Every structure is written in C-alpha cells, then in structure tokens.
C-alpha cells in the first residue's frame, strides 16, 4: 500500500476480493496458478465473480465474465494475474475480455510464464482497453510463490521438513525415532503434505520407516509419492507399493539396478534419470505438473537437496525432549563449512507451538 497511486487505491478492495476467490482453489490448481477475478458493470456494481478451479477448467476471467453476461459491457474486470494471450488447454482470456466489450482491466501481477509475461497486457492495450497494473502486486505474487518459482526456475518450490528433539536429534543412537513429536505436530505434517504436489523420500527411509506419506484425508486427492533410490535395492513389501490411495513413482539414477524391479509389484511408476542430482528429479517433477514438493527424507538426501538448491523452505519441528547421543541421527550431513559465517543462513517466516512441540518455518 506504500506509494500506491490514487487511481489504484479504489481497486484495492476489489483486488482483495479477487485474491479471496483465488484462494478457494488452494492446493488444487497445479501446474496452473491460483487466479481470482471480479467484473463490475459500467456503474461500478459487482456483476460477476470467478476463480480458476484446476487445470483444464475455465480460467477465472471466463468464470467471472460468464456470470456477468451482457452486464459486462463498458465495465471493468479485476484479475489477480495478467490474462493469458495464448491457446493453452483453454482459449486465450484476452480475446474473451475484448469480446465482452469491457473498458478497463485491473491486473495484480504480470504472468511470469514467458508465453504471456506482458504480452497479455499489450494485447489488451492495443485493443483500446485501459489497463491498470500492479494493484496489490505483492499479495498476488505471494499466493503464487510456488507457481512463479517453478515457471522461473524449471523446478518446483522445495520444502524440507524434519522433526527433532531439543538437543537436535532425529532419532536415538539405536535408530528409534517414533515418535519424537506429538500428535498435533504430526497432523500439521499431514496438512503440509496436502498442500504439496509431491512428497519425496530416499530408499533408506522406505527401508527404515516404511512410511505411508499421505495427507490422511486432509485433501480430496493425495500428493504424488516419490521414492528417490540410487541402488533400487528396495524392500519387496512396502506401504508405498500400494497405489490405490495415491500414486507412487520410483525414481533412480544410472547406478540403479533395474533387475530389482522383478521383485516389486507393478503399481509404482518408474522414472529413470541421467544422474543422482536432486535437481534432475525436480525438473522431471516440474514437467509432471508439480509446483511444490516436500522432502521428507533422511540426512543424506536432505543434504544433497540443499546443496543442489532444491530446498527453498525449511519446516523444523522441535519436541521438548532430550534424546542424547553425540554420534548419530542428526538432521543433516557435513557441508564442509570452515566457519560459522559461511554456513547457510535462513530467514524467519513463521514460529508457532503445535501442542507440546514448536514449529519453525524459514526461507532459504
């Protein structure tokens, strides 16, 4: 709201409403962004509302225009994201806006998608419409942080999560780790999963913990479950091999021994990669429509993911317990830092208590 031009201020409440509409589809639009839109008639009265409800479904502007019908003539459309000007799964929104006879378009943020990226706005201006840009742009960007990151970097926004004791241990020296945190913190993990497109573990976690990795019905559809295995030496029986609840992908690099597949059931999909670099896995997942993924892996893969810039956000649960033990079960492996000042420094995002435990979210 700082230095917002006078002609923008009147649009703030309508953009806020559009953001509210966009958020109605949170967690369900990947690989598409969240978008909300409202239409005002020539007298400034609200005549249409819409939001994008998922890939393949109509865009927010089309929904709002459909509701407005002929009342849109000489009116204004407010939309959180620049209208698209290309044929995707649905036709370009710019053409629908022009056809509806609107006079004014109020845009929250420019679409980072290189097929749009200012071209939508140009198309509207060239057609004689007034375009007002940048209204609540930060808020509009924040609801699509992961979409924008994926479009700009070609890989999904990565979240790494771990749960540790007060003395920084993710397990006892004997390997026991169930349960470090209490039920509210574990529910919180299920909710985080429900907002991610995929959850990734390493082969070691499958062997040691045999996890299920679902949102426990926190969401209509479950995130994709990904096992990233170097060797493919995986257990013949595992909860993840049952793909009735959720899809599972087994991803592996050049060292993976494909003969192991004969011992595994057919449910999980196979994804062969050219390297063990986590960023290659994430590029593949971006192509499969993932905007946001969750690393729920052990120290070795977590360390590799951080070093490969595949972690943008960290969620650390700390339990009020002391496990002890010098030599085992820390969250991360050695990075080889020689001084504290060269270590990774993160930015605070959110701190809260979850039952007895605390949850600290930070951004890299």
Q: What positions carry a catalytic annotation?
A: 61
59 is in an annotated binding site: yes
User: Which residues sit at the interface with a second copy, rule CB under 8 A?
Assistant: 164-169, 172-174, 176-180, 299, 303, 306, 314, 316, 318, 320-328, 330-340, 343-348, 351, 353, 356, 358, 360, 362
Q: Least Å distance between CB 175 and a second copy?
A: 11
Structure letter (DSSP) for residue 182: -
Burial of 128 (0-12, 13-18, 19+ CB in 10 A): exposed
Q: Least Å distance between CB 332 and a second copy?
A: 5
Q: Least Å distance between CB 9 and a second copy?
A: 33
Find out whether 80 and 34 touch, Cβ atoms under 8 Å: yes
213 is in an annotated binding site: yes
- Give backbone dihedrals phi and psi of 36, rounded to 5 degrees, phi first: -130, 155
296 is in an annotated binding site: yes
Return the number of the residue (172 or 245) whose C-beta is nearest a second copy: 172
Residues 40 and 329: their CA atoms lie apart, in Å, by 58
Map tokens 């097929």 to a residue.
Answer: 115
14 is in an annotated binding site: no
Q: Least Å distance between CB 343 and a second copy?
A: 5
Find out whether 311 and 217 touch, Cβ atoms under 8 Å: no
Return the number of the residue (177 or 243) whose C-beta is nearest a second copy: 177
CA distances from 179 to 193, 204, 328, 331 (A): 18, 18, 17, 15
Residues 72 and 53: their CA atoms lie apart, in Å, by 22
Q: Least Å distance between CB 194 and a second copy?
A: 24
234 is in an annotated binding site: no
Return the number of the residue (174 or 262) whose C-beta is nearest a second copy: 174
Q: Output b/e per residue, 169-181; b: 16+ Cβ within 10 A.
A: bbbeeeeebeebb
DSSP 63-79: HHHHHHGGGGTT-EEEE
Find out whether 69 and 79 touch, Cβ atoms under 8 Å: no
Residue from 45, 48, 122 nearest 36 by CA:
48
Residue from 118, 82, 109 nearest 97 by CA:
82
304 is in an annotated binding site: yes
Return the number of the residue (148 or 188) whose C-beta is nearest a second copy: 188
Q: Least Å distance between CB 156 and a second copy?
A: 21
248 is in an annotated binding site: no
Positive or negative torsion for Cα 358, 360, 361, 364? negative
Residues 11 and 22: their CA atoms lie apart, in Å, by 16
Residue from 271, 302, 275 nearest 288 by CA:
271
Return the number of the residue (57 or 177) whose C-beta is nearest a second copy: 177
Find out whether 94 and 83 touch, Cβ atoms under 8 Å: yes
Q: Least Å distance between CB 326 and a second copy?
A: 5
155 is in an annotated binding site: no
Return the number of the residue (261 or 360) whose C-beta is nearest a second copy: 360
209 is in an annotated binding site: yes
Return the number of the residue (208 or 271) whose C-beta is nearest a second copy: 208
Residues that constitute the known binding site for NADP(+): 163, 179, 205, 209, 298-304
List, as residue ranges, the binding site for Zn(2+). Answer: 59, 84, 93
Annotated binding residues, written as ranges, equal 59, 84, 93, 163, 177, 179, 193, 205, 209, 213, 216, 296, 298-304
Known binding-site positions for substrate: 177, 193, 213, 216, 296
């Amino acid at each position: 709201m700082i230095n917002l031009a006078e002609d923008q201020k009147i649009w703030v409440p309508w953009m806020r409403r559009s953001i509210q509409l966009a958020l109605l589809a949170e967690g369900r639009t990947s690989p598409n962004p969240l978008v909300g839109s409202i239409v005002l008639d020539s007298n400034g009265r609200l005549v249409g509302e819409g939001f994008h409800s998922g890939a393949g479904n109509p865009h927010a502007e089309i929904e709002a225009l459909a509701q407005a019908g002929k009342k849109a003539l000489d009116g204004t459309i407010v939309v959180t994201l620049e209208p698209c000007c290309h044929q995707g799964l649905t036709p370009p929104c710019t053409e629908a806006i022009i056809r509806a006879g609107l006079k004014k378009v109020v845009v929250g943020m420019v679409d980072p998608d290189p097929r749009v990226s200012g071209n939508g706005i140009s198309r509207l201006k060239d057609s004689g419409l007034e375009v007002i840009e940048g209204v609540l742009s930060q808020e509009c960007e924040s609801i699509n942080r992961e979409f924008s990151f994926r479009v700009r970097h070609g890989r999904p926004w990565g979240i790494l999560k771990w749960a540790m004791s007060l003395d920084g241990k993710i397990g006892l020296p004997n390997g026991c780790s169930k349960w470090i945190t209490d039920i509210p913190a574990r529910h919180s993990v299920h909710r985080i999963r429900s907002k991610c497109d995929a959850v990734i573990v390493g082969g070691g976690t499958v062997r040691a913990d045999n996890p299920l990795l679902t949102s426990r019905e926190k969401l209509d559809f479950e995130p994709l479950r990904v096992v990233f295995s170097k060797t493919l030496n995986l257990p013949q029986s595992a909860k993840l091999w049952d793909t009735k609840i959720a899809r599972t992908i087994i991803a592996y690099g050049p060292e993976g021994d494909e003969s192991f597949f004969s011992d595994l059931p057919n449910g999980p999909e196979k994804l062969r990669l050219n390297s063990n670099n986590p960023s290659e896995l994430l590029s593949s997942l971006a192509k499969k429509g993932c905007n946001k993924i969750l690393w729920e892996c052990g120290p070795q893969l977590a360390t590799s993911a951080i070093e490969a810039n595949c972690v943008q956000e960290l969620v650390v649960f700390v339990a009020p317990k002391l496990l002890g033990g010098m030599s085992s079960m820390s969250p991360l492996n050695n990075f080889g830092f020689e001084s504290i000042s060269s270590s990774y420094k993160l930015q605070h995002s959110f701190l809260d208590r979850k039952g007895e435990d605390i949850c600290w979210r930070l951004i890299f």
